[in-house]
Amino acid sequence: MKEKPMRTLFLETADGRIAYETSGPVDGPLAVLVHGMGDTRATYRFLARRLAGAGFRVAAMDVRGYGESSTGWPDHDVASVGADLLALVRHLGGPALLVGHSIGCASAVWVAAEAPAEVTELVLIGSFSGEGRIKAWMKALSRAVGRSAFLWAMFVRSSYPTAKPDDFGSYLKELKANLREPGRAAALRAQIELSLSGVVTRYSEVTCPTVVVMGTKDQDFPDATAEAHLIASKLGGPVEVVLVEGAGHYPHAEMPGDTADRVLRALTLHPAPSL
């Protein structure tokens, strides 16, 4: 089976340019990966490889304002990022399995609700129910972290409570360098403000199968396991919950082997027709 090498491509939209990287067999079912705030497509470096090895045609995108995507976007709202994601799915010839992380999950859910024919299945990693209340001191701290690439990197480091991949140092160095590029911190600050104001997620409108993935030590939630099951209860389609023991907010990078294995097994429990 002919393989596509991993390479960076660009999708031009009305408001800017979205960067993405492809891998996997050219004739495999499409999987499109969207990262969370303050990150780049590199967060999926392990999971993308495993999905490609399992036969998926993988596209990992840089969300508007991050990575190699352009800066200066009019907004960074869930629906706008979702529209970029949907445009990429259509550009690549969907439908697609969508994988989201953190706030990126909300955009993946938006696509599944807005254009259900374009989504075969969802994988939501470190998503949120939208029912937690944020304390005032946490809002102030979040805003301070969003103003400094160094502080953001410290926050990311703290989100790996049990293990760190061998390349974590170089990954974090590249992440800080990216956020220090002109215009990139604006995307992080905008998404922090969005998360603090309360993100509306369209879980109940989702009809496709969904895998909810949560690290049991995710510090974003008082009880990460309960949060995962609460999210599952809100989804309109069949759901499989995957709890990664000991992992924090980035289980796909902190414990990549275990997370990928369990996601792939969960996908086979209720595969969409095109898979």
pLDDT confidence bin for 273, thresholds 50/70/90: very low
**pLDDT tens for residues 201-213?**
999 999 999 999 9
> What is the chain's mean pLDDT, rounded?
91
The closest alpha carbon to 37, from 145, 164, 123, belongs to 145
N- to C-terminal Cα separation, the chain: 17
Task: Tell whether the model's pLDDT for residue 275 goes beyond 50.
Answer: no
Task: Tell whether the model's pLDDT for residue 5 goes beyond 70.
Answer: no
Percent residues over pLDDT 90 in the chain:
82
Burial letters 170-197, b for 16+ CB under 10 A, else e:
ebbeebeebbeeeebbebbbbbbebbee
**pLDDT tens for residues 52-83?**
999 999 999 999 999 999 999 999 999 999 99
